[in-house]
Amino acid sequence: MSDLLERLRGRGWRMTSQRRVVAEVLGGEHVHLTADEVHARAARLLPEIARATVYNTLGELVALGEVAEVSTDGRAKRYDPNAHHPHQHLVCSGCGTIRDVHMTGDPLAGLPQEQRFGFTVSGAEVTYRGLCPSCARGPGPDPGPSRAAGEGPEPA
């Protein structure tokens, strides 16, 4: 279940009761909880845990590459501990629920019936991630990357 704990310990991650609890909550295979849900569940095991600690911890797990962040449009991000097995997501536009799916080939061709979990699939979306030329030049002395995008004379 939680090789996650093992892996983290191996990486010299300082183990505390709250971190352990967060890692346990994220233990399963097809879990996609929001930070708030993680906090709620963690609090069932360790009542005093603070929301901020959960956010911090989740952030670290993401930075370590042990957990993946999934943004479902305007809703709160969800955290996916299944980061070690490549897979795709099927997101419900109504409630934000996520299911892991496993596609191959052209995603725009549709999702195989047995991977739909009863969902009415309306479409697929492909997003490439990377660094633009200017951000790739290293963080630099802070040119203020925050508000820069899309402004100005619009080179697009």
Q: Residues interacting with a second copy, by CB under 8 A?
A: 28-34, 37, 40, 69, 71-74, 77-78, 86, 88-99, 101, 103-108, 111, 116-136, 145-146, 148-151, 154, 156
Residue 19 binding target from DNA, a second copy, none, CB below 5 to 8 Å by type = DNA
From 62, 88, 66, select the one nearest 77 (Cα to Cα): 62
| CB of 39 vs DNA, minimal distance in Å | 9
Report the Cα 119 to chain-centroid distance in Å. Answer: 21
**Distance (Å, whole) CA 145 – CA 149:** 7
User: Which residue, 20 or 96, is less far from a second copy as judged by CB?
Assistant: 96
Q: Does 115 participate in binding DNA (rule CB under 7 A)?
A: no
| CB of 49 vs a second copy, minimal distance in Å | 18
Encoding tokens for residue 2?
Answer: 């939680």
3-state secondary structure at position 75: coil
User: Taking a C-beta distance cutoff of 8 angstroms, is the pair 5, 14 a contact?
Assistant: no
State which of residues 3, 6, 17, 27 lies at the interface with DNA (CB under 7 A): 17
**Distance (Å, whole) CA 74 – CA 96:** 10
Residue 125 binding target from a second copy, DNA, none, CB below 5 to 8 Å by type = a second copy
From 69, 75, 111, 70, select the one nearest 93 (Cα to Cα): 75
Bridge partners of residue 98, in order along the sequence: 91
Q: Quickly tell me which residue has 């971190």 as its tokens.
A: 19
Q: Does 156 participate in binding DNA (rule CB under 7 A)?
A: no
Quick note: the x/- pattern for DNA over 73-92, rule CB under 7 A, is -xxxx---------------
Residues within the interface to DNA (CB under 7 A)? 13-19, 34-36, 46, 48-53, 55-57, 59, 74-77
Annotation: binding site for Zn(2+): 92, 95, 132, 135
